[in-house]
Amino acid sequence: MLMPTATTRPRNAMSIDVEDYFQVSAFAPYIDRDRWPTIECRVEQNIDRILALLDEKQIRATFFTLGWIAERYPAVVKAIVAGGHELASHGYGHERASDLSEPAFRQDLLRAKGLLEDLGGVPIQGYRAPSFSIGKSNLWAFDVLKETGHRYSSSVYPIAHDHYGMPDSPRFAYPVREGLLEIPVTTVRMGSRNLPSSGGGYFRLLPYAVSRWLIRRVNERDGQSAVFYFHPWEIDADQPRVPGIDAKTRFRHYVNINRTHRRIARLLDDFAWGRMDEIFLGAKAGLQHAGAGQ
């Protein structure tokens, strides 16, 4: 069988999880949620930088946006939509789906979806759970996502991780309910393990050439679109340092943070990119659904 050439590689999905540095799950033991309104947000300036970079590269992406951010910074939502990007949901308050009851999860989804649709003037089809927090213990979340009008989720990370992960789940887009796709972030199969290949701390920690090789392998060997993600705070080397955090959390959050913007720019040049809804839902004419499978 012929391997795909550079011109026939699948187009990949670029996604941004719109949250601020103090809202990450790893900081929850150190920053009380009640303090959030009193902390200076940096998300606006970071989103401006991301939108400028995407516009320069003529790339459209998907922004999984917290309702909490949208409510306080509606201009961020309007700028995302005005730039031709997909507006999607990251829930309202960055609470892990695995920490919520079914009624609380439904309320969180509806609150975020309503806010985003009112502000953005577009339907919200996609959802990504904070910290990829849909797993074996809360698969009922897919029923709630379908009931609340979502068409896809990107909430399962098929790796073994100390905070999340479902390593036995499919590696590529697959239907979890009728009319609802799960679109996992990308992994590469090496031996009996799935290796993370889609962004976050791994992208900052590993040499850029490794990340490029991993995505290329998925495009060429698997013939699949990769799903990449990052956060606005990951391009913000000047963000305030959170005092008192443990060494592991400090390393994970801040490692190579001063290099991320340059690496993202290289990544945008090295591969073809698009919105999640275009690539996986066929939101524009001529685009095909990604195949399921492991």
pTM of the model: 0.91
User: Rounded CA gap, 275 and 60, in Å?
Assistant: 6
3-state secondary structure of 189: strand
The torsion angles phi and psi of 89, rounded to 5 degrees, stand at -105, 140
Q: Where are the extended beta strands (E) located within 68-203?
A: 86-89, 126-127, 152-153, 174-177, 180-182, 187-190, 193-196
- Per-residue pLDDT band at 106 (split at 50, 70, 90): very high
Out of 8-12, 144-148, 184-188, least confident range: 8-12
The torsion angles phi and psi of 126, rounded to 5 degrees, stand at -110, 155
pLDDT in tens, 77-89: 999 999 999 999 9
Give, to the nearest 10 degrees, the angle between helix 102-120 and helix 140-147. 40
Whether the CA torsion 210, 204, 276, 268 is positive or negative: it is negative
Long-range CB pairs of 163-168 (<8 Å, 24+ gap) are: 163/25, 163/26, 163/131, 164/131, 164/132, 164/133, 164/135, 165/132, 165/135, 166/134, 166/135, 166/136, 167/193, 167/194
Q: Assess whether pLDDT exceeds 50 at residue 134.
A: yes
- Per-residue pLDDT band at 163 (split at 50, 70, 90): low
Q: Assess whether pLDDT exceeds 90 at residue 57.
A: yes
Contact criterion met (CB below 8 Å) for 224 and 291: yes
Q: Assess whether pLDDT exceeds 70 at residue 161.
A: no
CA 214 to each of CA 62, 150, 203, 248: distance values in angstroms, whole numbers, following the listed order: 21, 30, 11, 25
Query: What count of other Cβ atoms lies within 10 Å of the Cβ of residue 149?
Result: 14
Tell me the CA end-to-end span of the chain in Å, nearest whole number. Answer: 19
Determine the pLDDT at residue 19.
97
Out of 48-57, 200-209, 226-235, 260-269, least confident range: 200-209
User: Rounded CA gap, 249 and 72, in Å?
Assistant: 27
- Per-residue pLDDT band at 3 (split at 50, 70, 90): very low
In the block, tokens 């989103």 appear at: 47
The CATH number, out of the four listed (3.20.20.370, 3.30.70.20, 3.40.5.50, 3.60.20.40), of the domain defined by the range 12-281? 3.20.20.370
The residues with which 182 forms a beta bridge, in sequence order, are: 153, 174
Residues 6+ away with beta carbon under 8 Å from 33: 93
Q: Assess whether pLDDT exceeds 80 at residue 216.
A: yes
User: Rounded CA gap, 96 and 163, in Å?
Assistant: 11
